[in-house]
Amino acid sequence: MSESGNSPDQGGSYQVLARKYRPASFDDLIGQEPMVRTLRNAFAAGRIPHAWMLTGVRGVGKTTTARILARGLNFQRDDKSGEPTVDFGEMGVHCQAIMEGRHPDVVEMDAASHTGIDDVRDIIDKARYVPVSAPYKVYIIDEVHMLSKAAFNGLLKTLEEPPAHVKFIFATTEIRKVPVTVLSRCQRFDLRRIAADELIAHLGAIAQKEGISVEPDALQAIARASEGSVRDALSILDQAIAHGGGAVSAGTVHDMLGLADRARIIDLFDHVMRGDAGAALAELQDQFDTGAEPQVVLADLAEFTHFVTRLKIAPAAAAQAAVSETERTRGIALAETLSMRVLSQTWQMLLKGLAETTQAARPLATADMVLVRLCHAASLPTPDEAIRMLQDGGGDGAGKNNAQAPAATAGPTAAIRPEPSGEARPRGNLNVAAQPAYQPSETAAEPEPESADRPRLRHYDDLVALARDKRDRLMVFALERHIRPVRFEPGQIEIKLTPDAEADLPHRLAAILREWTGERWIVAVSDGEGAATVHERRQADKQTQIETAKADPLVASALKQFPGAEIVAVRGQDGANGNDDDDDDDNDPGDNTG
């Protein structure tokens, strides 16, 4: 960065950060390494074209790159020695004037205000004359797509065969509006949006030079709001410094831009996934009261849904995203819990709801209804569950499930289906008796009368089935994978937590059991080993079925005919999976709960 680039304007007036820290060399330009590498090789080999076309979104460095190119073309030392280069070890005699846009041989023209054929004729006439002092006469035409058709046609001949001392550099944000005849005469570079981590590091370095204290979460919010534009990011940082009185906090940026706190966005997402409409509406109202716009909240919800989806599909790539540790940790947990079907449905509903909210006369009310729809969708059965309910009980099962409201609407819920035999378990072949570390207590052996609105839980599997019927995906996941049951009796559960379980899981389980059953439950953590988790038992059962299938002569013959083939599932004669609770993807437990 040149010294003049860091100094205020003449007269001591304040210079905005976007101008003060404008790159003066390719070493200062961030995020455009492919273009810089190509230009460096071209200059080193002497293969310098006569015209460049720079395209990209706002604020990624098109005009700045054009000036640096003009500086490189006209680089000369004080003794007039030097040749075109992109590596500047020192300031040349023309460099300062070129970077400040006042060199007579580097002509910058705004095509938005000079669109006609007369303006192009002026360029063509002046291009015939040699430069005044620099080696090359360089024409920088910004927003070139704004030129008229006649202007483009008038430029074609000179652009194809310009004088040896003339170079053209075009910049545009609308590359599709530039005629192909012009594009074919230029070497094109597409400038990329700046990655969030690069932008955060750049903003942090500038804040340090300015002596400004900036919170990391504030830098992340600025980078996210700028959408990859360095100029936008520096403008927001400039405004945040003034808004915060010299210190920039995440709250300052959120208040200034009308953004929602990212942690609260995740809380809202969690309420929606649980089907808790009351908590979701209350959270949205609180965020609205603190200055967050409903459209921004829904957009952030959609962005977080996309982040969780990427974590589920490509965790390694998504883990590199510039997000807070809270977002990363909670996002990974949700990605393990929610199915692709749920995430895709949530994304589609949020996109539709965002469009409705943007156009609505009452955005908050519209956003409320969007959240209600999302919560209602969370309580609906998945297609496979609907088919299962129809097969089990005709239309009664489906009606019973649809009658269940989300957690916020406290109404009567369906009782757990009675077991047809001592070995059967609701929704799966989970034979607790086969696990010696866990036996139901004697007091739980006697069946108790069940009321229509208060389910009676006699076994741990009854609890898992109740969580499924309540459609609480997160609790189902915790019950199946993070808890090893030790002892179970009405009103009291003794459990062993897995190492990756959340510390507050026993407290949450006790609270939600009181809500579901209307009775007080004690959930104690034991030092004993406990039985296998539901997921471990399910996987063991699946492996047993696979091993049994492998022993079948017909299957063994098929495997021999197809080397490398594997058995991924065992289905019965009716086409159902041998273990109807098992997922095709072990990492997709959300499919069990819709």
Residue whose pair of structure tokens reads 């940082």 in the numeric block:
237
pTM: 0.55
Confidence of residue 258 (pLDDT cuts 50, 70, 90): low
Is residue 227 helix, strand or coil? Answer: coil
Higher-confidence residue: 592 or 118?
A: 118
**Least confident segment among 306-310, 355-359, 445-449:** 445-449
Residue 178, token pair as written in the block: 């530039």
* Alpha carbon 378 to its chain's center: 21
Amino acid at 71: R
The residue among 57, 49, 5 whose CA lies nearest residue 27 is: 5
Compute, in degrees rounded to 10, the torsion defined by CA atoms 455, 459, 461, 465: 0
pLDDT tens string 499-533: 888 888 888 888 888 888 888 888 888 877 788 88
Higher-confidence residue: 435 or 127?
A: 127
Percent of the chain exceeding pLDDT 90 equals 19
Higher-confidence residue: 78 or 104?
A: 104
Res. 60: pLDDT tops 80: yes
Res. 438: pLDDT tops 50: no
- Dihedral (CA of 66, 68, 71, 75) sign: negative
Instruction: Summarize the confidence of residues 196-208 as an average pLDDT.
Output: 89
Higher-confidence residue: 238 or 403?
A: 238
User: Across the chain, how many H-helices and E-strands are there?
Assistant: 25, 10
Higher-confidence residue: 68 or 425?
A: 68
Integer angstrom CA distances of residue 359 from 300, 355, 367, 457: 18, 6, 11, 49
pLDDT tens string 455-485: 778 888 888 888 888 888 888 888 888 898 8
Element (H, E) at 286: helix 277-289
Res. 367: pLDDT tops 90: yes
Rounded to an integer, what distance in angstroms lies between the CA atom of residue 173 and that of residue 582?
51
Instruction: Summarize the confidence of residues 378-387 as an average pLDDT.
Output: 66
Instruction: Summarize the confidence of residues 133-158 as an average pLDDT.
Output: 91
pLDDT value of position 577 = 52
Confidence of residue 269 (pLDDT cuts 50, 70, 90): very high
Alpha-helical regions (H) of 314-362: 315-318, 325-337, 340-359
The residue among 237, 372, 367, 361 whose CA lies nearest residue 293 is: 367
Q: What is the DSSP string of 60-123?
A: SSHHHHHHHHHHHHT---TTS-----S--SS--TTHHHHHTT--TTEEEEETTT--SHHHHHHH
Integer angstrom CA distances of residue 537 from 422, 433, 487: 18, 12, 17
Residue 518, token pair as written in the block: 């209307």
Radius of gyration, alpha carbons of the chain: 33
pLDDT tens string 288-345: 887 788 998 999 899 899 989 988 888 776 666 666 677 778 888 888 888 888 888 8
Domains in the chain and their CATH numbers?
4-190 (3.40.50.300), 196-257 (1.10.8.60), 262-379 (1.20.272.10), 411-532 (no CATH), 535-592 (no CATH)
Instruction: Summarize the confidence of residues 35-44 as an average pLDDT.
Output: 90
Integer angstrom CA distances of residue 397 from 8, 197, 404, 469, 510: 74, 51, 11, 11, 28
**Least confident segment among 253-267, 319-333, 363-377, 384-398:** 384-398
Rounded to an integer, what distance in angstroms lies between the CA atom of residue 416 and that of residue 447?
13
Rounded to an integer, what distance in angstroms lies between the CA atom of residue 276 and that of residue 287?
17
Give the mean pLDDT of the chain: 79
Instruction: Summarize the confidence of residues 34-42 as an average pLDDT.
Output: 90
Residue 585, token pair as written in the block: 């993807």
The residue among 72, 77, 9, 74 whose CA lies nearest residue 42 is: 72
Rounded to an integer, what distance in angstroms lies between the CA atom of residue 343 and that of residue 269?
11
Residue whose pair of structure tokens reads 């009676």 in the numeric block:
456
Rounded to an integer, what distance in angstroms lies between the CA atom of residue 116 and that of residue 557?
78
pLDDT value of position 169 = 94
The residue among 539, 19, 385 whose CA lies nearest residue 230 is: 19
pLDDT value of position 395 = 46
pLDDT value of position 404 = 41
pLDDT value of position 144 = 92
On whether the CB atoms of residues 307 and 331 are closer than 8 A, the answer is: yes
Instruction: Summarize the confidence of residues 564-587 as an average pLDDT.
Output: 57
Residue 293, token pair as written in the block: 């716009």
Name the DSSP class of 571: B
Instruction: Summarize the confidence of residues 226-242 as an average pLDDT.
Output: 88
Is residue 587 helix, strand or coil? Answer: coil
Residue 445, token pair as written in the block: 């052996």
Higher-confidence residue: 442 or 153?
A: 153
Compute, in degrees rounded to 10, the torsion defined by CA atoms 57, 223, 353, 362: -100
Phi, psi of 492 (to 5 degrees): -150, 130
Residue 541, token pair as written in the block: 């059962």
Amino acid at 167: K
Percent of the chain exceeding pLDDT 70 equals 79
Phi, psi of 73 (to 5 degrees): -65, -35
Res. 149: pLDDT tops 60: yes
pLDDT value of position 454 = 66
pLDDT value of position 54 = 93
Res. 394: pLDDT tops 70: no
Res. 141: pLDDT tops 90: yes
Res. 369: pLDDT tops 90: yes
Rounded to an integer, what distance in angstroms lies between the CA atom of residue 9 and that of residue 328?
43
pLDDT value of position 580 = 44
Rounded to an integer, what distance in angstroms lies between the CA atom of residue 457 and that of residue 480?
16
Res. 439: pLDDT tops 80: no
pLDDT value of position 302 = 92
